[in-house]
Structure 1
Amino acid sequence: MTILKIRGGDLDLVEYDFASFSPGENINTCGFEGTYALTPSQVPVRTRAPGRIHLTVLDMNRFAPGQPGGGGIGFAIDVFAEVEARCIETGYEINYSRPSIVRHFLSVFSKTVGYTGGFSVTAKDHNYKHVGLGSTSTILTALSAAVNRSLGDPLTPDELRILIGNNYIEETEEGRVAFGFETGVGPAVSGKGGMAILGDNLTLVYRNQFGEGKNVYVVIPPSSISSAGEEEFSLLMNKARSLDYRDRELKAYIIMMDFIPALNKGDLKKMGDLMWEMEFRGSKRAEIEHHSFELYQYMHKLRKAGLEFIGMSSVGPSIAVITDLSQDKLISILKPLDLEIAVCTKVNNSGLIYL
């Protein structure tokens, strides 16, 4: 077990026991536990969910491992996780590279709906792990819908989203798991598509179609700094937390008074200008500087080249570019910067589907 210190200010220093546990322990049923008319099916259910770009958290002081919240903004993109699930008599048969996170959610879901049987699950994620594209939240969104459908849909999509957020974990060593940071943005946009804005306690404040027909390019600049585990914890709960004490009111004002109206009008350039302002505010500044000031230089040069919307996803180092420009044109812009396109895709406005 690791003891990590959190400092939010001169008089705000606490210790957090970053303890791992076995899948199936520390379950939160979110008040949804009850008696449901389940109809278990051995017919496989297949789902596909889009990944996400998480643009910013609104206030790092409002969440912690095991305590989802903090608010945030993000949108879905066409990189996909797929899950096939069916009911079996007993136990969990899991065919996936990260079985611990699947096993834990299956335990959470089964306890919530009162299911005493088992599941067979085959999963495939989008293979971009810990670079800001939501590998864990996307696979959990696809998984939750598949097992829910295999029992006759006892829970609503929003209940599944809340269940994921309150039981969000990452794998650790020897098949164990630990609570992770979760704003709820990933499941919200992976489930419904488009762009979503969340408030605290996983509350969906606003969602709309976004960037229809626009190209999305993900550029991953070189970085030797980890965006997972203890490094992520120290970043988010220390410097980022302190900066959000200072800037959270301004960030909330920008979102409510400028960003949501621009999203409602489909004004991509205005949203891009506002997001650029947010890159220098609060926790987003801490996340970017975590990798080095060079990330600001990259994004500034891309904006100077006329790209409409630039933003670093999550704790990075992935940079999302949304533009009308073709792939060949963007390559010519990136080449002098020694950068390459890692993902070429589109905004996803449809969300999770059943295959």
Structure 2
Amino acid sequence: MIIETPSRLHLTLIDLNGSLGRIDGGVGLTLEKPGLVLEMKENSGEISVEFKNPENLSAKVRADDEDKIKTSARRMMDHLHLEGGYDFTVHETYLSHSGLGSGTQISLAVGKLISDSAGQQLDAPQIASIVGRGGTSGIGVASFAKGGFIVDAGHNQREKPGFLPSSASTASPPPIVARYDFPQDWKVVLVIPHVEKNVSGPTEVNIFQEYCPVPLEEVQQLSHILLMKMMPAVLEKDLDRFGESINSIQSIGFKKVENQLQNPVIGEIMQLLRDAGAPGVGMSSFGPTIYAITDSPRDIVAVAREALAEVGGNIIETRAQNNGAVKRY
């Protein structure tokens, strides 16, 4: 069996104040590229991982992917009381810890392949709970399941009383309150500069503890933009209004914190892309991936190349994907 998954942008967390009894909440967008293509075959007793083109991947990416695959496989096997083993082949993958959600897609892909091969028809939220994903944001889980533009409602504080990233949270994936098809003629240009990621692991946990709760008025402002500007702009296919929404939320709430903690080159590139005419430019999750939403990608790509001349990096032209992962035999 082979499964193909999308990637995702995490546009913003909504409520890291919690005064109404819920925390987190998220807004995200599913992407066609980059993606994961993972193959699995059953064997008699071990979990093995190989890469179709290892020479094209860094040792860190291979190590991260192998660890996530083996960890997720063991968790799923333990949960379903399975014996034996599996051979996994990674045909395509993408950079981990870049703000594109590779960890969730890998974990869910492994869980889906194993559960289906065992005759268990588990849905994405069930698999996510088993393999330990979706503890803060539900965007990656919903992208795997359905694709599109997604808004999740966060967690009831009875289940998740504290402010934690997904890597440190055991909460179940949050409910999805809105999911829309995203305009296919809007392009997404990803700019991934080669700068050291400032936030991950224990550092990320500490940031949540240090900067939360965020001011209530900023949560209210963000919610107003989301409900009365960003979501209607998707439904009405209004690129300018959607872009304005993206630009506005970069300086509000927890997204403001995420941006402030970045290497200054991130903010500089974002402004260059706006000056080049991109209607909306933001940073996905804790970065370093920058995204530009545009209907004229050529000019944006040209400016991005110039911006990366000194630091280096990757540019990916893509668009939204309005369906989830696809399995084939």
Segments of 4+ moved more than 6 angstroms = none
- Specify the alignment match of 1:184 in structure 2: 138
Paired residue for 2:300? 330
Q: Which residue of 1 aligns with 2:108?
A: 141
Give the 3 Å change call, closer, same or farther, for CA 282–335 of structure 1 in structure 2: same
How far is the alpha carbon of 1:46 from its aligned partner? Answer: 0.6
Partner of 1:316: 287
Alpha-carbon separation, structure 1, partners of 2:129 and 2:229: 28
Residue 199 in structure 1 maps to residue 133 in structure 2: no
The answer for the alignment partner of 1:211 in structure 2 is: 183
CA distance in 1: counterparts of 2:197 and 2:73, whole angstroms: 33
Query: What stretches of structure 2 of length at least 5 have no aligned partner?
Result: 52-61, 156-173
Q: 1:102 Cα shift? A: 1.9
Equivalence for 2:171? none
Which residue identity lines up with residue 352 of structure 1 in the other structure? Answer: A
Would you say the 8 A contact 1:69–1:184 is kept in 2? no
AA aligned opposite 1:102: I
Partner of residue 72 from structure 1, selected from 15, 21, 26:
26
Q: Does 1:256 align with 2:230?
A: no
Q: Whole-Å Cα distance in 2 between the matches of residues 101 and 335 of structure 1?
A: 32
Identity of aligned residues (%): 23
- Contact 2:197–2:287, Cα closer than 8 Å, also in 1: no
TM-score by length of 2: 0.78
Secondary structure of 1:243's counterpart equals coil
Higher alpha-carbon deviation: 144-153 or 306-315 = 144-153
Residues 304-346 of structure 1: per-residue CA shift (max 9 Å, x gap)? 332122111010121101211143x224434564567522222
Q: Secondary structure at 1:227's aligned position in 2?
A: coil
Task: Give the Cα separation in 2 of the matches to 1:69 and 1:48.
Answer: 31
Tell me the residue number matched to 2:247.
Answer: 276
Contact 1:59 1:244 in 2 (8 A): no
Q: Aligned to 2:4, which of 12, 35, 48?
A: 48
Cα distance, 1:151 vs. partner?
A: 1.7
8 Å Cα contact 2:137/2:152 also seen in 1: yes
The question of whether the paired residues in 2 share the 8 Å contact of 1:235 and 1:290 is answered with no
Partner amino acid for 2:15?
D
SS at match of 1:291: coil
Distance 2:188 2:276 in 1: 16
Q: Which amino acid aligns with 1:330?
A: I
Report the RMSD for the aligned CA atoms in angstroms: 2.7
**Counterpart residue type for residue 344 of structure 1:** E
1:166-223 CA-to-partner distances (Å, cap 9, x unmatched) read x13xxxxxxxxxxx96412112113322111111132111111113133221113454
Residue deviations 1:101-126, cap 9 Å, x none?
22222232223334344333223553
Relative to structure 1, the CA distance from residue 104 to residue 251 in structure 2 (aligned partners, 3 Å threshold; closer, same or farther) is: same
Instruction: Judge conservation of contact 1:248–1:282 (CA < 8 Å) in 2.
Output: yes
Give the Cα separation in 2 of the matches to 1:52 and 1:125. 16
Contact 1:217 1:342 (8 Å CA) reproduced: yes
Aligned to 1:24: none
**d(CA) in 2 for partners of 1:90 and 1:225?**
37
Contact 1:235 1:287 in 2 (8 A): no
Distance in 2 between the 1:113 and 1:125 partners?
27
Using the alignment, how far apart are the partners of 1:335 and 1:116 within structure 2?
50
Instruction: Tell me which of 2, 26, 43 is aligned to 1:88.
Output: 43
SS at match of 1:58: strand
SS in 2 for 1:70: strand
Q: Does 1:151 align with 2:118?
A: yes
Distance in 2 (alpha carbons) for counterparts of 1:140 and 1:271: 31
Q: Which residue of the partner structure matches residue 322 of structure 2?
A: 349
- Confirm or deny: 8 A CA contact 2:105 2:144 kept in the other structure: yes
Structure 2 vs 1, CA of residues 86 and 294 (structure 1 numbering), >3 Å: closer, same or farther?
Answer: closer
Q: CA deviation at 1:162?
A: 4.1
Which AA in structure 2 matches 1:86?
K
Alpha-carbon distance in structure 2 between the residues aligned to 1:320 and 1:61: 26
Partner of 1:220: 192
How far, CA to CA, are the matches of 2:194 and 2:176 in structure 1? 34
Alpha-carbon distance in 1 for matches of 2:314, 2:83: 46
Cα 1:69–1:185 change in 2 (3 A) is farther
- Superposed displacement of residue 130, structure 1: 1.4
What letter is aligned with 2:116? Answer: R
What TM-score, normalized to structure 1? 0.73
Cα deviation per residue 1:5-35 (whole Å; 9 max; x = unaligned)?
Answer: xxxxxxxxxxxxxxxxxxxxxxxxxxxxxxx
Structure 2 CA distance for aligned equivalents of residues 91 and 198 of structure 1: 37
Alignment pair present for 1:106 and 2:73: yes
Residues 50 and 351 in structure 1, CA contact (< 8 A), matched pair in contact too: yes
